[in-house]
Chain A
Amino acid sequence: NAGVTQTPKFQVLKTGQSMTLQCAQDMNHNSMYWYRQDPGMGLRLIYYSASEGTTDKGEVPNGYNVSRLNKREFSLRLESAAPSQTSVYFCASTPDRVIYNSPLHFGNGTRLTVT
């Protein structure tokens, strides 16, 4: 029962490099989310996908792009990494387009350092 799987677990980038964070869920969930967690800031939503084929901006989308490749996979891309993007990134999913009654399921995170 894998749930939400994120790869890689750790990554160090130099300023200006690009990378893609991968997220896959095996629970047949419709909605998927990318959050970042920073000390003292809590979790902030970067992008979300209410269903396959749709994506929307969250609270802090600048510097990021996303792709909902299929129902299972939702990737987050940093085109030109900056030190301000040093953070822990979490992917989450929920069964319904409307999360009225469905808790979020989280992956274990990707710890990204940009030097």
Chain B
Amino acid sequence: KQEVTQIPAALSVPEGENLVLNCSFTDSAIYNLQWFRQDPGKGLTSLLLIQSSQREQTSGRLNASLDKSSGRSTLYIAASQPGDSATYLCGRGYQKVTFGTGTKLQVIP
């Protein structure tokens, strides 16, 4: 069974800090790795998708990397803002996406 793990489950940082969220997965035969944001009471919003042939993707203050050999992906958030407070989930898969349980981020003003 494919497993996806996200540690820590929760993270609290002061505004302006750069931070890294971690995602690890079993089975290096990965097709893509997606990062999502979930706000309370809402669905998931796709942030970045990294194909297996890529090593990283960037969107604004966000940068996601993929290391298939170690089974890890990281989401780097630069200059964090209170509006970044949300739960961040990673998902891996092909026809079916398997998700981690997420990291709940709180950015303190």
Contacts and interface: CB of A to CB of B under 8 A. Distances in A.
B61 interface: no
Question: Do most interface residues of chain B lie in helix, strand or loop, or is the interface mixed?
Answer: strand
Interface stretch (B13-21, B68-76, B77-85, B95-103): B95-103
B100 to A, nearest CB: 6
A42 B44 CA distance: 12
A48 B101 contact: no
B100 A99 contact: no
A42 B94 contact: no
A107 B42 CA distance: 8
Contact of B51 (A35, A48, A92, A100): A100
Interface of B: 4, 31-32, 34, 36, 41-46, 49, 51, 89, 91, 93-102
Interface in A75-115: 90, 92, 97-109
Contacts of A50: 95
Give the residue among B34, B93, B96, B98 with the most A Cβ atoms within 10 A. B96
A41 to B, nearest CB: 7
30 contacts: A4-B43, A33-B96, A42-B4, A42-B100, A42-B102, A43-B44, A43-B91, A43-B99, A45-B96, A45-B98, A48-B96, A90-B44, A97-B95, A99-B97, A100-B31, A100-B32, A100-B51, A100-B94, A101-B49, A102-B49, A103-B34, A103-B49, A104-B34, A104-B36, A104-B91, A107-B43, A108-B41, A108-B42, A108-B43, A109-B43
Nearest to B45: A106
A101 B32 contact: yes
Contact of B101 (A40, A99, A102, A103): A40
B43 to A, nearest CB: 4
